[in-house]
Amino acid sequence: MERRLYIETYGCQMNVADSELMLGQLGRAGYRRVERADEADVILVNTCAIREHAEQRIYGRLGELTRHKLRRPGVVLGVAGCMAQHLRAKLIERVPQVDLVVGPDGYRRLPELIEEARAEPTLAVRSSRVETYGDLVPARADGVRAWVSIMRGCDKFCTFCIVPYVRGRERSLPAGEVLRQVEHAAAEGFREIVFLGQTVNAYRDGDVDFAELLTRANRIEGIARIRFTSPHPSDMSDRAIEAMAACEKVPPHLHLPLQSGSDSVLARMRRIYTVEEYERLVGKIRRAMPGIALSTDIIVGFPGETGEDFEATRAAMERIGYESAFIFKYSPRPGARSADWLETVDEEEKTRRITLLIEEQKDRSLLKNQSDIDSTVEVLVEGATRRTPSEWFGKSAHFKTTVFPHRAERVGDLISVRVAAATPHAVLGEGVRAANFAAVEDVLA
């Protein structure tokens, strides 16, 4: 009997990659993916627990999905990912229609777990110190970009963060498996590889460190670009910087999370660097790769963040001059160290701080994008924009969304686009109207 699987993914790229892993596992067990929950006999939700807001949203969605079980009681409803690992049996207490709760280390046995869940509610939340799934072949979505998880887990234990508790200890895939996956993705026609890991640059397999892995991947034919996310500033070795600069397939863009521009906040976050050390690192990176585009993550309203600390973050963002930034309100996560600390910044003040940083970053991003006007950027073509099908988009080497009028380009082509205009979210080729692309959502298909 053919089995039909519907999967929904929340959270970061690691979850996107994990969903592809699950699709691969279940595909080999005879499941076919369907695009609508009402066509499926197994519904999986791959979840995120990084902020409370993510969990609330997923609870809402699970409430909707339980309707399918009411109509067709044989349907299996499974919750995978970080929220599954975080809440374990509590998830079934809160949503009794859930049949399966499976954490990030349980995916190898997914086909068997689904069979068990047909008979009784099933929990698979044991953490593993060794599971990397390096030998499993993911079913990658179509497109130009292949996600390759090169390591799992995290040993940093930043005090705000739930990741080490839900994804377990840091472990790297064998280098041979990573390179085999890159070759496989190249053979499948993917043009860009994104190496994934919570501290991706802490990668190590024997003598092969992150720098060596980049260097070896750079030799693989068919791949045009190799990116990675997220590196931790304290693991950014000179060797990694040299390898980035030397590998022509590694584009000049780096996402380097800062979190805060105040040393006392960074110390309480246990980020293990100071602002000065971070900026020294940025200096080194910019000397090795002049013109490199930088992006970052920032948290506002961490317990004890004073007005002065916040001003220090504003000033650091201005000095460093990021191309773009993901800015979050601090969200206490039960289980993480800081969850027990008194929250000193109320919701209204968090909103004020985040709004200010977002506005300032928007202005900065616009100026950065405008500085590309009249230059030519190299774009990896991804497809038609959502709003205007005759206008296509792709990413520039600086990882800027670039829109251009479509002629004969195909998905996966590397093309040159002369930039004529800019918005805070995109750079636009000749003939593209800025008004059509006021928001990033207007662009991405």
Interface residues toward ligand SAM, by CB under 6 A:
12, 50-51, 160-161, 163, 198-199, 230, 232, 257, 259, 297, 299, 328, 330-331, 333
3-state secondary structure of 107: helix
Query: Taken in order 84, 195, 382, 257, is the CA torsion positive or negative?
Result: positive
Give which of ligand SAM, ligand SF4, none residue 12 binds (C-beta under 5 to 8 Å, depending on kind): ligand SAM
> Which residue type is seen at 111?
P
Please state the closest distance from residue 335 (CB atom) to ligand SAM, in A: 10
Give which of ligand SAM, ligand SF4, none residue 165 binds (C-beta under 5 to 8 Å, depending on kind): none
Give which of ligand SF4, ligand SAM, none residue 150 binds (C-beta under 5 to 8 Å, depending on kind): none
Give which of ligand SF4, ligand SAM, none residue 354 binds (C-beta under 5 to 8 Å, depending on kind): none
In sequence order, the 6+-apart residues with CB closer than 8 A to the CB of 2 are: 30, 32
Binding mask 244-283 for ligand SF4 (x = CB under 6 A): ----------------------------------------
Q: Does residue 232 touch ligand SF4 according to CB under 6 A?
A: yes
Nearer to ligand SF4, 6 or 228 (CB): 228
Q: Judging by DSSP bridges, how do beta strands 100-102 and 42-47 pair with one another?
A: unpaired
Binding mask 71-100 for ligand SF4 (x = CB under 6 A): ------------------------------
* Number of residues near ligand SF4 (by CB under 6 A): 10
Please state the closest distance from residue 365 (CB atom) to ligand SAM, in A: 18
Q: Which of 132, 149, 198, 295 binds ligand SF4 (CB under 6 A)?
A: 198
SS (H, E, C) 206-221: CCEEHHHHHHHHCCCC
* Alpha-helix residue ranges (DSSP H) falling in 321-386: 347-370
Q: Does residue 158 touch ligand SF4 according to CB under 6 A?
A: yes
Phi, psi of 218 (to 5 degrees): -60, -20
* Alpha-helix residue ranges (DSSP H) falling in 147-233: 163-167, 175-187, 210-217
The alpha carbon torsion through 341, 332, 80, 185 (nearest 10 deg) reads: -110
The DSSP letter of residue 336 is B
Nearer to ligand SAM, 191 or 232 (CB): 232
Give which of ligand SF4, ligand SAM, none residue 330 binds (C-beta under 5 to 8 Å, depending on kind): ligand SAM
Q: Does residue 33 touch ligand SF4 according to CB under 6 A?
A: no
Give which of ligand SF4, ligand SAM, none residue 157 binds (C-beta under 5 to 8 Å, depending on kind): ligand SF4
Please state the closest distance from residue 283 (CB atom) to ligand SF4, in A: 22
In sequence order, the 6+-apart residues with CB closer than 8 A to the CB of 281 are: 233, 236, 256, 273
Q: Does residue 196 touch ligand SF4 according to CB under 6 A?
A: no
Q: Which of 424, 400, 422, 150 is nearest to 292 (CA)?
A: 400
Q: Judging by DSSP bridges, how do beta strands 414-422 and 376-384 pair with one another?
A: antiparallel
Q: Does residue 394 touch ligand SF4 according to CB under 6 A?
A: no
Q: Does residue 161 touch ligand SF4 according to CB under 6 A?
A: yes
Please state the closest distance from residue 230 (CB atom) to ligand SAM, in A: 4
Beta strands in 224-319 (DSSP E): 225-229, 253-255, 293-300
Region binding ligand SF4 by CB under 6 A among candidate stretches 54-62, 96-104, 152-160, 356-364: 152-160
3-state secondary structure of 89: helix
Nearer to ligand SAM, 50 or 292 (CB): 50
Tokens of 33: 């993916």
3-state secondary structure of 124: strand
Give which of ligand SAM, ligand SF4, none residue 297 binds (C-beta under 5 to 8 Å, depending on kind): ligand SAM
- Helix then strand count (H, E) for the chain reads 13, 21
What is the residue whose two structure tokens read 């809160």?
A: 94
Q: Does residue 156 touch ligand SF4 according to CB under 6 A?
A: yes
Q: Do residues 426 and 414 lie in contact, with contact meaning Cβ atoms separated by under 8 Å?
A: no
* Alpha-helix residue ranges (DSSP H) falling in 72-157: 82-87, 89-94, 110-119
Give which of ligand SF4, ligand SAM, none residue 393 binds (C-beta under 5 to 8 Å, depending on kind): none
Give which of ligand SF4, ligand SAM, none residue 164 binds (C-beta under 5 to 8 Å, depending on kind): ligand SF4
In the beta sheet, which residues pair with residue 401? 395, 426
Q: Which of 40, 77, 154, 193 binds ligand SF4 (CB under 6 A)?
A: 154
Measuring CA to CA, how many Å separate 72 from each of 4, 119, 303?
Answer: 14, 15, 46
Q: Does residue 152 touch ligand SF4 according to CB under 6 A?
A: no
Give which of ligand SF4, ligand SAM, none residue 260 binds (C-beta under 5 to 8 Å, depending on kind): none
List residues binding ligand SF4 (CB under 6 A).
154, 156-158, 161, 163-164, 198-199, 232
